[in-house]
Structures are given as structure tokens and as C-alpha cells.
Structure 1
């Protein structure tokens, strides 16, 4: 087929190009591709118009537009009401992508020529979009525990990943900043987003730890708004993770107000994360459910391996209100054995009788 004099340049050839697939190669998700192509067709439009045409939510259009704007695909006009999004000229977008790809070559070749591959324990991040993306990815990789402080008005950006983590059996402790008390309807809107959530009106950094070894620390203003001019640290270091967790649980968590608490998980359930076992034991006891524990670990005085089973007769904790631990990071289970009571703590326990590696919570047998 030949083109006529009124046809746009390369119109025939354009039909042979899988634009969606090419855009995905540049890192765009399916929904981001749909959003961008819809904007190209409209030129400039309100978020509601794009959402309806692309078949996505209005909230997602704002999130995707922020990502697309950071990459130069669109311009977000947030100085007008309502906010509009304008597709940048395709020629400029393609030129920018080509220049970015070309500029990467020396750096890629330099890395490729290194004799050894090394994983940096720290990464400095300057973009808000990248920080949020790192937080989402880290939560997706969580297998045991997530602790996160995050602005309440930005919670939608990570809510799906947090719900998925809870569904996987991960302990999620969520501290929502910027508000002393959640607004009406908070529990219904964010049901399932955390094992326990608290709110605090005071400013604090956005802090994430995942499984006690990786995480993010970002200034409050960096997550709260775009182009703050601040920087975040993404870390992957087992020595640093517990320090951040200790600060989160010991300094910030006690100062916040309880806003959301999940229902106890069905029994039996096995936990390698001791704080999760403590939380679940406390939730069951508060529901008037008797609970027993089978603990595998070692005695703190001799290091001797031990397995014990007994009913949980006391829980010392600071995860849910009211706290009854003697110091902020103390979490202890007391088990009644046949002829004695023993106390159990998590990794690094020193005041308890047993340091636990694994705890199975069950319903006591008659």
C-alpha cells in the first residue's frame, strides 16, 4: 500500500511497529503505556478524562503521570485547576531516549570490564519517584517483617504492596505520619494494609526495613512532595537493619497512637520472626483464645539447643496498646511447662531463658 499526499509521514510503516512493546522495553508498565498512548491521542487532558479512556483509576493516572513526567514523556500542569497532563512532542521524547541510551554506553562498558561484581551496601537516591519505587520493590520481596513510616496522605502509593505482604504472612508495622488521628472511614479504606498501624502528627523521616537487612531512610519532605531537593539512602546491610528497626520500635512507635489492628491469624501457625509470634499470641489472648507455643531455640545461659512446648501464660510486648514491656524493644513469651515456667525471647535474647529460632503457635490440647 502506498501513502497519499495527505497521509502523515511514515503512516504505513507505523502500522508495522509494536509501539506498546517498544515502550515496555524502556521500563513502562502496561498501564503506563495505556496512559501515555491515551495522552498522545488527546494531546492534553484532565486525569479523569485519561482514566476513563485508558480504563484505569484516576488515582493511578496521577501516579503514572508523575513517573512519565520524571522520564520526560509528559508534563503535569499542577498550577491550574483542575490539573491537566500534556503529552510532550514525540520527537523530543525519542531524542531524549536516544541520548539517554547513548550516554549510558560508556558507563555500562566500564562496569562490564570490571573483574569482580560487587553489590554496594548503600545507594543515594535523589528522585522521589525512585524512592517510592525502591520502597514498593523492597516490600514485594519481604518474607518475614516490614516496618515502615510513611505519610498518611501518600499511603495509596504503597497500600497494595503492603496488603500483599500481610496476605503472605509478613508482619507489617506501619507508622503513618502527618496526622494525630485518622479521618473517619480510615479502617474501612485501609483494611488489611498492616498487622498493626499507628498515627503520629509529628514530622519524622520515612523509614523502611525489610526482614531486618534492607531498607530506605528518606527525609520527610522527600516523600511528601516532589522536587524537595533532598536525598534518600537505600541500604542493604545486615548490621544496619536491626539498628533502624530498634529506633523505629523503641523511639517512634511508642509515641504514636494505635489506629488499626488486624484480627489474629488462624492457628496453628509457625513464625521465624519472633515479634510476629508475640503479636499473634497477644491478639489471641485478647480475643480470649488460649494459645500454646512450641519453641525451637537455645538456652541463653549455656547455648544448649532446646525444644519446649507449653501454654502461653504471659506476653510482654510493646506492639499493641497498652504496652506492658519493661523496655521498648522487649518482647517476651512466658510458657507454662509441666514443672516450671520459662521465658522466651527472639534473636539476641539475653534476659529470657530461651532464645527462639522458631515458634509454632497452636491451640492447647486438653
Structure 2
């Protein structure tokens, strides 16, 4: 640790600039007369005496005034540090007694003017994701968020990544997006950097603001649940279909349960494409009446636009069709109204692990 750091840390404990100089001089001498310290520290002899009294009261030095001339001795650093730590610990009960705990409230919107801050907000949001991340980000800046995306994928988060600014020559084996996204697409055109996390928080930033510093542009950071689906709808409806698929993860191991409906749809589709039968248990409500319902059956159809080729009727449509007894039941996610059931949770199992006689609709 250099002297600049020592100066700064000592000042945190209330020492003035001259007191710091006096104390550091005494450390170098071990023990010295006031005149010696004054000359080395560049202060007056009178000040040394005054400062030494204060330093002694705080346990930094010992003043030997029973000898002539008076000498001042620096106390061993380990003793000083132990005393400072003890004083800090002794304050804790009193500070906590006075501390009024209040819940941190997030502002629904934050205007950000700094590129560095925007990237920090994006990284922090991805790190906090538990279910779903949708993100568009420029290729030449992707390394800034790659580790955070990779960690999210490892946690089982559905990561839909759209990499922008990708030229035709960039589409080769060196562009490996398989580890940073559940599904990744590339697009050569510029577009805003759009992030949503778990459908409730996110960022919208102009393309040039993320691409370069000092663009003069501003970004919006939001934490409003009503806005999340709007941004996701724009991402999946306007940009995702126009981009080229570059990577798709392998199917996740089953059985597995999902409260994020798009993740359930994605996994059901990936397993079906691998010629693996999939059973599903859905807990939700009937869209017509709102009555609670639980259904179990084989997934016989998936409508989706997450992986190519898409087979949904419109870009944001994602649904499952289950064969239940002698009927077929359609299942949608939050806000579903076209399908028969709005799902809160979907549990997928390998088809041969499903108990066929239990196929049922329980209302």
C-alpha cells in the first residue's frame, strides 16, 4: 500500500493533513524529539506538541514527557489497528439503535446520460435475472456483458439475445454465441439496445449510445411491470423475426418445472424437434371463467417464434396444445385469452415418465 492510500485511510479516522504528516514521520523515526519531527514533517515545533497530544489521545503515539527533552514514540501499528477496529465495533450497537430501516424504493424510470452507467445497469439487471432475459446488443461491445449472460444461462434463465451490427463476413465459426444465450440471432442493421429482465425491469438505449462514448444520447432504465411486456412485445414482434438465427441451446434435462411460460414453450419445442415425446402438467386457470385448473397430458403441438422455423400465427404467440383424455386443450402464458388455459406453472416430463392414466382436467 502506498502513502497516498495510507493518507486517505488515516483521514477517514479524523486525522487532518498535518496530523497525518506528523504521524507518518513518527512511524519512520520510531521515536524522536519534537524538533526532529517538526523539521521532517515541515510543521512548527509547537504544532508537533499539539498534534502529539491529540494523536496520543487516539492511541497512535505515546508522549514521553518525563524525560528531557520530551520525545514522542509511535505505538506499534498492530496495536493502533486493533484499537481502531475495537472502536468501530463498539459503535455498531449505538448506530443500529438509531438507524431507521426503510425499504428501498425503486423509481419507475431513470434517465441515464453516461454509456458506462448504462452498461452497468444492464449488467446488474442480467445478474439479478431469475427467469428471462431479452437483450439486443452490438457485436463489438458484446464482451462487456458476455460473462453476465453466460452466468444467467448457467442458472437456467431463458436468454434471448439479438446481436446487432453483424456483417455477412462475421457469420463464421469464430462467432460462437451458444454459451451466452438459449437462443441467439444476428442482424446487420442498427437498432436500439433493448433489455428486459423477468418482464419487469429493463433498459432502452439508442444504438449509438451503447456503441460509443460521448454520443450525447440518453437511455431509459425502467422498473415497471406494465412496461416490460410492451418492450418484450416489440423485441419479439418487430426485431426477432427479422434477424437470422445463429445459435440454439440443447434441450434442458427433464423433468423440469417453469413459471416462465416462454421457457416452457422453448423446451417443449426443442425436445419435440429431437424426436422426444414430452408430457406436461399445467397449473393455471380457465381463460373463460377464471376458475383454477390443473391439467396433465401429452404435448402434441407447440406454436412458437423463438426458434426457426416459426410456426405461430403472429410473432408474440406462444402456446402449447395438450392431448388430455379425448380432448385437446390449448395453453397460453400470462394474459392468455385465445387459449383455453392461462398457465401459472408448467412442469415438463419425458413422455415415457408420464403416467398416462392420470391425464386429466381437474377444475
TM normalised by structure 1 equals 0.68
Aligned-partner SS, 2:160: strand
Question: In the alignment, is residue 309 of structure 1 matched against residue 258 of structure 2?
Answer: no
RMSD (CA atoms): 2.4
Aligned-partner SS, 1:133: helix
The 1:16/1:326 distance shift into structure 2, 3 A limit, reads closer
Which string of whole-angstrom CA distances, capped at 9 and with x for unpartnered residues, describes residues 173-232 of structure 1?
000111154432245x43310000001111110000000010000000000111111110
Equivalent residue, structure 2, for 1:328: 315
Question: In the alignment, is residue 141 of structure 1 matched against residue 132 of structure 2?
Answer: no
Aligned-partner SS, 2:110: strand
Equivalent residue, structure 1, for 2:75: none
Equivalent residue, structure 1, for 2:196: 209
Aligned-partner SS, 1:17: helix
Using the alignment, how far apart are the partners of 1:167 and 1:274 within structure 2?
A: 19
- Shift in Å, 1:139: 0.1
Aligned-partner SS, 2:335: coil
Which of 341, 346, 351 aligns to 2:328? It is: 341
Matched ranges for 1:120-159 at <5 A: 120-159=107-146
Equivalent residue, structure 2, for 1:93: none
Equivalent residue, structure 2, for 1:14: 3
Equivalent residue, structure 2, for 1:266: 253
Which string of whole-angstrom CA distances, capped at 9 and with x for unpartnered residues, describes residues 74-118 of structure 1?
xxxxxxxxxxxxxxxxxxxxxxxxxxxxxxxxxxxxxx99x9975
- Shift in Å, 1:18: 9.2
Task: Give the unaligned 5+ runs of structure 2.
Answer: 11-98, 357-363
Using the alignment, how far apart are the partners of 1:198 and 1:16 within structure 2?
A: 47
Question: In the alignment, is residue 183 of structure 1 matched against residue 185 of structure 2?
Answer: no
Using the alignment, how far apart are the partners of 2:301 and 2:235 within structure 1?
A: 24
Equivalent residue, structure 2, for 1:86: none
Which string of whole-angstrom CA distances, capped at 9 and with x for unpartnered residues, describes residues 26-63 of structure 1?
xxxxxxxxxxxxxxxxxxxxxxxxxxxxxxxxxxxxxx
- Shift in Å, 1:17: 2.6
4+ residue segments displaced more than 4 Å:
115-118
Task: Give the unaligned 5+ runs of structure 1.
Answer: 1-10, 23-111
Using the alignment, how far apart are the partners of 1:214 and 1:190 within structure 2?
A: 24
Equivalent residue, structure 1, for 2:225: 238
Rg comparison, structure with higher value: 2
Question: In the alignment, is residue 363 of structure 1 matched against residue 354 of structure 2?
Answer: no
Aligned-partner SS, 2:351: coil
Asked whether the equivalents of residues 180 and 257 of structure 1 are also in contact (C-alpha less than 8 Å), the reply is: no
- Shift in Å, 1:152: 1.0
The 1:180/1:15 distance shift into structure 2, 3 A limit, reads closer
Using the alignment, how far apart are the partners of 1:118 and 1:316 within structure 2?
A: 39
